[in-house]
Amino acid sequence: MRPSAEPRPLDAEVARGESRLWRDLRTVPNLLSLSRIALIYVAAALLLVDQQLLALAVGIIAGITDYLDGYLARKTGQVTELGAILDRLSDLIFESGWLVLATYFHLLPPVFLLLYLLRELVVLSARLYCGERGVPLTSSFIGKLKTNFFGYSAFLVFFSGANVLPGGYAVLRFLAYAGVAVGLLLSYWSAYGYLRTFAAAYDDVTPSNRRS
């Protein structure tokens, strides 16, 4: 998980005519972000073929890269706008993917998935509107905390569903439900902050320029 990036000055590679996108794509932190997206799909495929423990192991590796890419980006001075985009994309793929699978396997009631998708679609619409008008809508601390709760809850949900312990599933399932519920509360809290920025941007547009 990495901080929001400020545009960097052109370096020697860009001065020679190399694409900034291609340059940033080849940095180690961004390659780690891309690998995380691939690992998420591998873990999902393993769950679908009834390899829960192996899927959890792959998921843990993917989670480690979420912290490692941000650390390396800051340590090496390779914080980029592309990194922030890939970070948000991988979070969205992970969160929506595991909630869909948990619903599919009847490990969570569908209401969790529906509430999550409603929030994400509303925030996405706000991001698109603000982005068109040059208004920054960067990730907040509460939003990042939400991602952490969803990540730990995902582990609890699928570990409790793997049936590898002689008992204690009720406790694990309760903790998983509680974690998802807290994650949803945090997600709506952060959405409130994003929507306040959206409202300010919308009010700043003259009526003649507003879209229906």
Cβ(164)–Cβ(107) below 8 Å: no
Counting Cβ atoms within 10 Å, is residue 34 exposed (0-12), middle (13-18) or buried (19+)? Answer: middle
Q: Classify each residue of 144-172 as buried b or exposed e, where b means 16 or more C-beta atoms within 10 Å of its C-beta.
A: bbbbbbbbbbbbbbbbbbbeeeeeeeeeb
Q: What pLDDT is recorded for position 30?
A: 92
Give the phi and the psi of residue 105 in degrees, each rounded to 5.
-90, 10
Residue 128 covered by a domain: yes
Residue 94 covered by a domain: yes
Q: What pLDDT is recorded for position 168?
A: 57
Q: What pLDDT is recorded for position 199?
A: 93
Residue 162 covered by a domain: yes
Q: What pLDDT is recorded for position 43?
A: 95
Q: What pLDDT is recorded for position 10?
A: 44
Residue 1 covered by a domain: no
* Residue spans of the chain under pLDDT 50: 7, 9-10, 206-208, 210-212
Q: What pLDDT is recorded for position 90?
A: 92
Q: What pLDDT is recorded for position 7?
A: 45
Count of the separate structural domains present in the chain: 1
Residue 33 covered by a domain: yes
Distance CA 191, CA 114 (A): 15
Residue 173 covered by a domain: yes
Residue 5 covered by a domain: no
Q: What pLDDT is recorded for position 54?
A: 93
Q: What pLDDT is recorded for position 11?
A: 55
Q: What pLDDT is recorded for position 33?
A: 92
- Domain containing 115 — which CATH number? 1.20.120.1760
Q: What pLDDT is recorded for position 140?
A: 81
